[in-house]
Structure 1
Amino acid sequence: MSDKEKHEKDSVSIEQGVVGPAATRQTNPDFHLDEHDLDRVQRRLKQRHVQMIAIAGTIGTGLFLGSGGALASAGPLGALIAYALVGTVAYSSLCAVGEMTTWAPISGTFPHFAARWVDPALGFATGWNYFYTNAISTPVEITAAVILLSFWDHNQNHVAAYTAVVCVLVCLINIFGVRYFGESEFIFAVVKLTLIIGLLLVGLIIDLGGGPHGDRIGFRYWKNPGAVNRAGLVHGNIATDRFVAILSVLVQAAFSFQGMELVVIAASETESPRRNISKAVRRVFYRIVIFYILGILMIGMLVAYNDEDLLNLKDNNTAASSPFVIAIKRAGINVLPHIVNAAIFTSAFSAGNSFLFCASRVLYGLALRGQAPRVLTYCTKKGLPLYAVLTSSCFTVLSFMSVSSGSNTVFNWFVNLSTTGGFTSWFIMNLTYVRFRKGLLAQGFDPKSNAYHNSWQPYLSYWGMGWTMFFILVNGFTVFWHFNASGFFTAYINIPIFLILYCGYKFTKKTKFWSPLDMDLVTGIPSMEETEEPEVPPRNLGEKIAAIIF
């Protein structure tokens, strides 16, 4: 290497805010790494938006409604173990992608990182996998929102009209731009926080005997009927059957945590992304513990896993099936179920809104790097990737499939497909981080110099990789007791789809795995000076409180 070339590489490294003696910069246009001139999105999400989006990504219908099914399947201790384990895996994935995002807060997020630091073919497969996972999840959440409306309106003739209204509203919020998206998610997050904190307090009061009936529950249901339920699949061995019951809840718990990565996907449209995303990722661990773990613990104290109301309403997706609501009604409090259902409706609506945002931004990132049609790179003057949003919005019409009983089976396939696709994304996040870290060290960068660094890495990512691979393999294990082709297909079809995408692109484009010294850690990545605005210290008590919360 000539002195001039060495000086140029060191200069590039210095521009990024860290010095690396051997920083690599790829100039081959086939790699599409330097596309910042095409990237027209604007940083319109403020600090309060980002912090509340981080909260909203971890609280949704999976906690309010899905927790009832987890309790019925595995019992209070079984559900708690499953949610705690999956919480650590979700946290590892978020830490991994958070660290890479604060290094490179650009459009395309972790699919681009996979293409940049592992293999372009892996980035292509990951990007399209994540796109269709989120695109399919959007109508799933819209349908969940419409079902929640049946809590008040039982007329099935109105379902199509409600579906159309929700579809239009979700699409409009995304079409209006990221500022409207941020404000709507901020409001939804406030509603979710108020709801979960209120439910935890009401649940604690009821459990301690503060309800109208004065019945002190304590840990009664952990003793009778017991802490762990049986799956009913392994006869003659109670311990194995209980273990299988916990396994069956792992997949359901994992679905509840999906969507946490929304905060990093919005990095390219966030003000001071390195500071704000670092703060959001650091706080997520405590939010998982406080809201999810305490929430699961609370419902296990309030409702028995063999409760008749819980079992009878297990397939009901309104607030009536929520274990919180069952406990509240049984305590003699009648008005709260309507309030809870309204709040859960906003959660479902928010989830559909977020999935559509994620799908459009990943599709836009693929287009920037030449892995999707270039027409999708078009942005309005306000930085909205309009064509990517419109393309993603087309998938909302799939929500009308649930209106017809004949197409409902196909719709349920989409639900399972989106779940397994989410597991694949978690695995790729952790795998890409491991490779990214090796590249940093090989090229002389110190990972601790990044705006966000977790001291448990890379072991945290190894933990996440192992468990997500396990989730993918056991996702549909129950079909092997009572085998049916439909159940097997929906549980494992995502594996061959991903492999076809990966192998097809790899053989077509003749891509290769990046060695640590060949990874490009600098091209097209804005410097700290370009992204970060000076932090204004709080001037009064109100601003100090806001700084703690946001």
Structure 2
Amino acid sequence: MSAQSQQKDELPGIDSVEKFGVDVSLQPVVADPEHKFDVASIDLVQRRLKQRHVQMIAIAGTLGTGLFLGSGKALSGAGPLGALIAYSLVGTVAYSSLCSIGEMTCHAPISGTFPHFAARWVDPALGFAVGWNYYYTNLMTVPVEITGAQLLITYWDSNPHHVAIYTTIISCLVILINVFGVRWFGEAEFVFALIKLSLITGLILVGLVIDLGGAPNHQRLGFQYWKNPGVFAGAGLEPNHIGLDRFLGILSVLVQAAFSFQGMELVAVAASETENPRRNIAKAVRRVFYRICIFYILGVFITGLIVPYNDPDLLQSTGNAAQSPYVIAMTLAGIKILPSIINAGVLTSAFSASNSFLFCSSRILYGLSLRGQAPYIFARCTSSGLPIVAIGFTGMFAFLSLMNVSSGSETVFNWLVNLTTVGGFFTWGSIDLTYLFFYKGLKAQGIDRKQRLHYWNPLQPGLAIWGVTWCSIFILINGFEVFWSFNASGFLTAYINIPIFFGLYLFWKITRHTKVWKPEEMDFVTGIPTTEETESPEIPPTTLWQKIAAILF
């Protein structure tokens, strides 16, 4: 075999040059060892997540308090149509980033995921900034969700002396699930996802029953609340300019909507620990569009039909089911049994979210450590492939949730949490930006992604451009309300993420003298396993139950 033929065979997942349309004159680019793109010898995680785990994580991984409870805040802030517009817009941005990361992960299902992709195809400094930004955002979300779970328990037990006990128990359970290993994590998320899917499906159906007059009060609502009090709620910032005030109302709920969608990238983060990652992630990404439409958009639409946006209960921040728009609607309709069931379902959602964010943040820290962007100690794994040091270190921050027990430390905790407000927008925008470089690099090196990848989206690169544009806008308008009543703390809370992110980028760029990769310099080979190494033959379903499972999972 000639040297040129051997190099062509080294392209991962390519059986023949002619089949995949690669220019025979091109040589695969291999990175200099100093960039640490090839970490296969020290990457010890194992592929233990099964297809059903991945699919259920993708279907319901992000369903949580942001949708079940936060949609009420969005409804009161923008009105039924305003909330629908905000959730739809943010949904398209979240979808664009997921499609982008889906293509890149199908090419390289390796540890480090999108921070490593940014380092490999854009600039190592961007990978450093994205990785640490995402790590901090997820790290602080763990105690936030634990606090949310504890608040949900107050629906049944409001004794303030029990707060620390419940918080400690939840924190320990979350850490233990992650310490037991990725298989336990997968099984836990599978069960939680089933509960969340059942809950949101049941709530949508109950909402339709209430709207159509099937509740005990037999009052048919239809679009009554769209007429009175109306389809839009104003932000209250420009009372003399109704149209502008309603537009500002929509802007005011964009961050709330974004919080509901956060975590969709979990599937890609778990790729290095997933069986048949290319095939399973391709399936997961293809199905996410329908999930957004059915569970998010339809869910928000139903809440706008059954609760008026000016209902005073929507403004209460109880932290439990009492502030859910569905519970408010049930109370108005005379239904008395379901609220406790909803609270229990939302409690499992909050627990699941804290579990998922701990998994995400520990794997990002592990990936950073593998490639020299975090202390190497965090790359240590057990014999079963568990990054125990990264999990243990990250898990300690779960106990920051205990700061909410004291009113003084609660202020500090809330300030730390507010620093993560636009972290998700930086993540989505960076994923889409990385994809644009990835797309350009593949094209420059003559690699046909439509034949090369298990998943590709025909709307690319338009989706990525859409995502980058809107994420930039979201970051800039995040704290617009502070300019109507300016205060320094509000301004810092809204915009300090911007200098932090670019500070991380400049720190690594200056200290390591990194450069932005040119398309012809991008490495699509080093350390990336071939299709033969990751994918086993797909066994078609034969029995009825297997066919049903194939459709669902």
Residue 310 of structure 1 and its aligned partner are, at CA, apart by 2.0
Counterpart pick for 1:537 among 522, 536, 540: 540
Query: What is the SS of the residue equivalent to 1:43?
Result: coil
CA–CA distance in structure 1, aligned partners of residues 279 and 217 of structure 2: 49
Residue 488 of structure 1 and its aligned partner are, at CA, apart by 1.0
CA 175–338 in structure 1, closer or farther in 2 if over 3 Å, else same: same
1:292 corresponding residue in structure 2: 296
2:181 corresponding residue in structure 1: 177
Q: Which amino acid aligns with 1:189?
A: A
1:33 corresponding residue in structure 2: 37
Counterpart pick for 1:227 among 219, 224, 231: 231
2:427 corresponding residue in structure 1: 425
Query: What is the SS of the residue equivalent to 2:521?
Result: coil
Residue 251 of structure 1 and its aligned partner are, at CA, apart by 1.2
Counterpart pick for 1:318 among 314, 320, 338: 320
Q: Which amino acid aligns with 2:116?
A: H
2:11 corresponding residue in structure 1: 13
Tell whether 2:432 aligns with 1:434.
no
Q: Deviations over 1:503-550 (max 9, x none)?
A: 011011110010000000011111111101111111111111111000
2:195 corresponding residue in structure 1: 191
Query: What is the SS of the residue equivalent to 1:419?
Result: coil
1:343 corresponding residue in structure 2: 345
Higher deviation after alignment, 270-279 or 328-337: 328-337
Matches within 5 A, 1:118-517: 118-311=122-315, 313=316, 315-449=317-451, 450-517=453-520
CA contact (8 A) 1:299 1:324 kept: yes
CA 17–229 in structure 1, closer or farther in 2 if over 3 Å, else same: farther
Tell whether 2:525 aligns with 1:522.
yes
Residue 5 of structure 1 and its aligned partner are, at CA, apart by 5.8
CA contact (8 A) 1:17 1:528 kept: no
Residue 377 of structure 1 and its aligned partner are, at CA, apart by 1.2
CA–CA distance in structure 2, aligned partners of residues 29 and 234 of structure 1: 58
Q: Which amino acid aligns with 2:220?
A: R
Residue 27 of structure 1 and its aligned partner are, at CA, apart by 4.3
CA 238–23 in structure 1, closer or farther in 2 if over 3 Å, else same: farther
Residue 4 of structure 1 and its aligned partner are, at CA, apart by 6.5
CA–CA distance in structure 2, aligned partners of residues 211 and 46 of structure 1: 41
1:62 corresponding residue in structure 2: 66
CA 18–263 in structure 1, closer or farther in 2 if over 3 Å, else same: farther
Q: Deviations over 1:230-258 (max 9, x none)?
A: 11101321000000000001111011101
Residue 186 of structure 1 and its aligned partner are, at CA, apart by 0.3
CA 454–23 in structure 1, closer or farther in 2 if over 3 Å, else same: farther
CA 424–159 in structure 1, closer or farther in 2 if over 3 Å, else same: same
Residue 9 of structure 1 and its aligned partner are, at CA, apart by 3.0
CA contact (8 A) 1:102 1:451 kept: yes
CA–CA distance in structure 1, aligned partners of residues 220 and 469 of structure 2: 42
Q: Which amino acid aligns with 2:378?
A: L
Q: Which amino acid aligns with 2:187?
A: E
CA 18–247 in structure 1, closer or farther in 2 if over 3 Å, else same: farther
CA contact (8 A) 2:49 2:182 kept: yes
CA contact (8 A) 2:12 2:525 kept: no
CA–CA distance in structure 1, aligned partners of residues 252 and 2 of structure 2: 60
CA–CA distance in structure 2, aligned partners of residues 417 and 263 of structure 1: 25
Residue 357 of structure 1 and its aligned partner are, at CA, apart by 0.3
1:102 corresponding residue in structure 2: 106
Q: Which amino acid aligns with 2:324?
A: S
CA–CA distance in structure 2, aligned partners of residues 12 and 537 of structure 1: 29
CA 95–23 in structure 1, closer or farther in 2 if over 3 Å, else same: farther
Query: What is the SS of the residue equivalent to 2:78?
Result: helix
Q: Which amino acid aligns with 2:379?
A: T
Residue 309 of structure 1 and its aligned partner are, at CA, apart by 2.2
Tell whether 2:84 aligns with 1:80.
yes
Q: Deviations over 1:460-508 (max 9, x none)?
A: 0000000011111111110111111111111111111111111011011
Unpaired runs of at least 5, structure 2: none
Q: CA RMSD in A?
A: 1.3
Count of residues paired in the alignment: 546
CA–CA distance in structure 2, aligned partners of residues 159 and 362 of structure 1: 31
CA–CA distance in structure 1, aligned partners of residues 355 and 187 of structure 2: 12
Query: What is the SS of the residue equivalent to 2:244?
Result: helix
Q: Which amino acid aligns with 1:520?
A: D
Q: Which amino acid aligns with 2:473?
A: F
CA contact (8 A) 1:23 1:522 kept: no
CA–CA distance in structure 2, aligned partners of residues 131 and 507 of structure 1: 22
CA–CA distance in structure 1, aligned partners of residues 137 and 314 of structure 2: 30
Q: Which amino acid aligns with 1:244?
A: L
CA–CA distance in structure 1, aligned partners of residues 102 and 397 of structure 2: 28
Residue 408 of structure 1 and its aligned partner are, at CA, apart by 1.6
CA contact (8 A) 2:54 2:280 kept: yes
Q: Which amino acid aligns with 2:404?
A: S
2:47 corresponding residue in structure 1: 43
CA contact (8 A) 1:16 1:525 kept: no
Q: Deviations over 1:309-355 (max 9, x none)?
A: 223x2x12100000001111221111100000000000000000000
CA contact (8 A) 1:78 1:246 kept: yes
CA 88–23 in structure 1, closer or farther in 2 if over 3 Å, else same: farther
Unpaired runs of at least 5, structure 1: none
Q: Which amino acid aligns with 2:252?
A: S
CA–CA distance in structure 2, aligned partners of residues 153 and 69 of structure 1: 24
Q: Which amino acid aligns with 1:546?
A: A
Residue 416 of structure 1 and its aligned partner are, at CA, apart by 2.2
Residue 308 of structure 1 and its aligned partner are, at CA, apart by 2.4
Residue 418 of structure 1 and its aligned partner are, at CA, apart by 1.9
CA–CA distance in structure 2, aligned partners of residues 216 and 500 of structure 1: 56
CA–CA distance in structure 2, aligned partners of residues 157 and 407 of structure 1: 17
Q: Which amino acid aligns with 2:11?
A: S
Percentage identity across paired residues of the two chains: 63
Q: TM-score, normalised by structure 1?
A: 0.97
Residue 18 of structure 1 and its aligned partner are, at CA, apart by 6.8
CA contact (8 A) 1:23 1:520 kept: no
CA–CA distance in structure 2, aligned partners of residues 328 and 446 of structure 1: 53
CA 244–18 in structure 1, closer or farther in 2 if over 3 Å, else same: farther
